[in-house]
Structure 1
Amino acid sequence: MAPTPDLRTYLRSLSAETLAGLLYEQAERDQGLRAELEQRAARDCHGDSTVAAAHKLLDDAPPRSGSSGLNGDGGGEGFDHATTMSAVLDTMQRLLDGGSRADLAPLALRTVDKLGAELGADPAGTAGSELERAIDLYARACRAHPPAPAALADWLLEVAFERPNWPRIDLPPFAGALGESGLRRIKSAVDTMLADDACTGRRRETAERLLEQLAETSGDVDTLVEMLSRKLPRLDVSLRIVRVLRGAGRHAEAIAHAASALGPGKGPLRAPVVDALAETYHEVGQGDEALTLRRNEFRRAPDYDGYLALREAATGLGCWESERVAATELLTARAAADPTGADDLVRALLAEGEAEQAWQAADRYGASLELRLELARDREAENPAEVIGVYRSHVEELIAHRDVAGYRQAARQLRKLRTLHKRADKAEEFGAYLAELMETHKRKTRLLAEVRNARIALPKVSR
C-alpha cells in the first residue's frame, strides 16, 4: 500500500491558478468561507484605491487648500490645508488599524516630508503635531512593509542630524524594519561622528542619543548603563538605569543603583525611583525590604500617595493594622501643623471607610472646599443641617467668579440649600440667609436674574 502523500507539499506543487480554482469551488459550497474571502477581497482592493486617492490628494493639495477625495472614485469636496493633511493621516491610520495589506510606507514618507517642509511656514503651529503623528504612522508602515534598510537608515540619519527643527525621531520603532544591516549602518555613521573632535554641541548630543538607542535595541545592557552613568547624578537617568537593569533581569544591580540614587534629597522624580525600587524588591521576593522602603519614605514626607503605597506594601505582608495607626497619627500631626496636609488626612480616612472621622477632620483642620463638598454630597441625605455651611461657602466662591456660569451654578446651589433648610426644619433661616446674600450682591443684576430663573423667590432688596 502506497504511503499517503503530504498534503501541504502537494498543494505547494500546484500552480496559483489551480489553487484559486480549488478554493473558489470550495467557497461555492461553504458560504462562511465565501463571505470571509469576499471581505478580504473588498478590504484589499479598497485599500489600494484609497492609498491611490490619498497620493492624489497630496499631489493636488496647495500649501493652504486643495480638493480631492478618499473614496476611490476621484470625487470629493474642497479641503483647506489642515483638513487635507488630517484626511491623509486618518486614512493611513484607518488602513493600518484595519490590517490592510497595502504598502503604506511610500505614502507615509511623502506625508512626513511634506509636513516637515512646512514647519517653518506654519503660523497656526499645527504642522509639528501632525508631523509627529505622521512619523508614528510611518514607523508602523515600515514594520508592515519594510523599505530598503540602507535607504531607511540614511533617511533617519538625515532627519536626526540635518533637520534640527523636526520632532525627535527615536530608533526603536524603526528597529524591526532596519534589521541588522540598517542598524549597523547607523552605528557606523554615529561612531564616525563621535570619533571626530569637530562633532560638538547638538550633533554630538544627537549622536550619543542614537548610540544609547542602538545599545538598547541590541540588548547591550552594559554599554547602555555605562553611557547613562556618565549623566549621573540626575534622578531621571537613575530611573532609566533601574528600568534597563530590571528589564534585563539584573535585579540585584537595579536595587543597588536605586538605593544609592535616592539618598536624602528631594525632587519630582524621587517618587518614580522609589516605585521602581519597591517593584524590584517585590520581583525578587523581598517584601520586607519594600515595606521598610515605603515606611521610611512615608515618614520622610507623609502624604496621601505615600499612605496608599505603605498600605499596599503592608497589606501584602498582612501587617497593615499595626502600620495604620502610626501612619494615621503622622498624617494627623502634619495636618495640625500645616493646613495643606488636611486633605491628605481626610482622604486617608476615607480610604479606610471612616467617613465620620473624615468629616470631623475636614472641619477641624480646614480641608479644601472641593473635598468638603465631596464629603457633603455623601452626608446630606442623613445630615442636612451639618452640610448647610459647606454649600453656603460654595455659593460665595461661585459668585466670586463674577461670570455668568458661576452665577448660574450658584443659583442651582441655592435651590439645593433651600431644600436642605426645609429638610433640616430651618426654612425661615434660609429666607434670612437669602435676604442677606441678595443685599450684599444687589448690584449683580445677572446674579439676580439667574436666581429668578432658578425659580427662587427673591426677597425685597433695598436700593
Structure 2
Amino acid sequence: MLVSSPLRRVPQARPADVLAGAVTETFTTSGSLDYWATVRQAESAAPLAEELATMVRTGRSRPALAPLATAIQLLLSTLDCADDTAGTLDDLLNLLLAVHAEACRQVPTPGLSDWLLNVQFEAGRWCPIDISEYGPALSRAELERYRAGVRRRWAADPGDLSARDAVERLARWEHDTTTLIEVIGGDLRHAAQYGRLARALADIGEKTSAQEWARRGLAAHPEDPPGAGLRSFLSNSGAC
C-alpha cells in the first residue's frame, strides 16, 4: 500500500496577489454589524485565517506576513462597529496575532516595532499585543524603539488603558521590577493594588519582593478586604 508523504497533503500556496486580494475581500466590512452578522463574519473569515496559519506552520511565513498584518488591521476596524458579545471576532483576532507573531519569529520583519505601536495605539481600538510572543522577533534597536514608544504613550496619558496594558506586559516580559511596581502599584492607596502587585511580582519569579509588598499591604490595610488576598498570598507563598 502506498503511503503518501505528509508534504503532499500541504495545499499549494496561492499567489501573493491572489492571497492579498482574498484577505482584503474577506476581512473588509461596511457599516455596523449586529450580533448575528458578527458571528457570520467570523465564520466567513475563519477558513482564510486557518489557511494563513497553515502557511506559517509549514514554513511559508514570508508570503503570509503581509496578508496577516492586513487581516489584523481590517479586523480591528470591524471590531469598532460590531456586536461581538459572543467573542467570535476577538477569538479570531487572538488567533491571527498568535500566527503573525510566529511568522515574525521565523523571518526578519523590518519595521515590526512601528507596526506594533500602530495597531496598539493608532487603530482606534485596544489590541492585545503579547510582547512576550513578538519580543523575540525584535532586534535590539527595534525593541528599544518599541519600548520608547510605549513609555512615551504612557507618560503622555497615564490613564490610557491601552498604554498601561502595554507597559505592564513589557515589564513582565523583561522582568522589569521597577516599572512593574510603578505601573501596577501606582499610588498604592488600596489593598487590592498591593495584592495585584504581589501576584505580578511572583509571576515573574520575584518571590522575595512579592512577599515584601504583600507585607507592606497588610501593614497599611490590616483588614485585608475581599479582593486583596494578602494573607492568603503570603500563606500560599510560604511566608507565614
Under a length normalisation based on structure 1, what TM-score does the superposition of the two structures give? Answer: 0.40
- Cα distance change, pair 215–128 in 1 and its aligned pair in 2 (3 A): closer
TM superposition shift of 1:248: 5.5
In the alignment, structure 1 residue 280 sits paired with structure 2 residue 221: no
- Of the candidates 192, 197, 205, which is equivalent to residue 241 of structure 1? 197
Q: Contact (CA 8 Å) 2:84, 2:90: kept in 1 or not?
A: no
TM superposition shift of 1:121: 4.0
Q: 2:60 aligns to what SS in structure 1?
A: coil
Match of 1:101 in 2: 59
- Cα distance change, pair 124–252 in 1 and its aligned pair in 2 (3 A): closer
In the alignment, structure 1 residue 200 sits paired with structure 2 residue 157: yes
Decide which structure has greater helix share. 1
Q: In structure 1, list runs of 5 or more residues that go unmatched.
A: 1-34, 65-79, 290-463
In the alignment, structure 1 residue 210 sits paired with structure 2 residue 210: no
Q: In structure 2, list runs of 5 or more residues that go unmatched.
A: 30-39
Distance 1:101 1:202 in 2: 41
TM superposition shift of 1:89: 2.1
Distance 1:89 1:172 in 2: 22
Distance 1:202 1:265 in 2: 26
Match of 1:4 in 2: none
Match of 2:8 in 1: 42
TM superposition shift of 1:91: 2.8
Q: 1:267 aligns to what SS in structure 2?
A: coil
- Of the candidates 254, 268, 292, which is equivalent to residue 227 of structure 2? 268
Number of equivalent positions: 221
- Of the candidates 146, 149, 154, which is equivalent to residue 114 of structure 2? 154
Match of 1:373 in 2: none
- Cα distance change, pair 222–182 in 1 and its aligned pair in 2 (3 A): same
Q: Contact (CA 8 Å) 2:154, 2:167: kept in 1 or not?
A: no
**Relative contact order: is structure 1 or structure 2 higher (C-alpha 8 Å, sep ≥ 6)?**
2
Over aligned residue pairs, what C-alpha RMSD do you find?
A: 3.6
TM superposition shift of 1:177: 1.4
Q: 1:106 aligns to what SS in structure 2?
A: helix
- Cα distance change, pair 236–156 in 1 and its aligned pair in 2 (3 A): farther
Match of 2:34 in 1: none
Which structure has the larger Rg? 1
Residues 300-335 of structure 1, C-alpha deviation per residue, up to 9 Å, x if partnerless?
xxxxxxxxxxxxxxxxxxxxxxxxxxxxxxxxxxxx
TM superposition shift of 1:182: 1.8
Q: Contact (CA 8 Å) 1:246, 1:254: kept in 2 or not?
A: yes
Distance 2:158 2:212 in 1: 33
Q: Contact (CA 8 Å) 1:254, 1:280: kept in 2 or not?
A: no
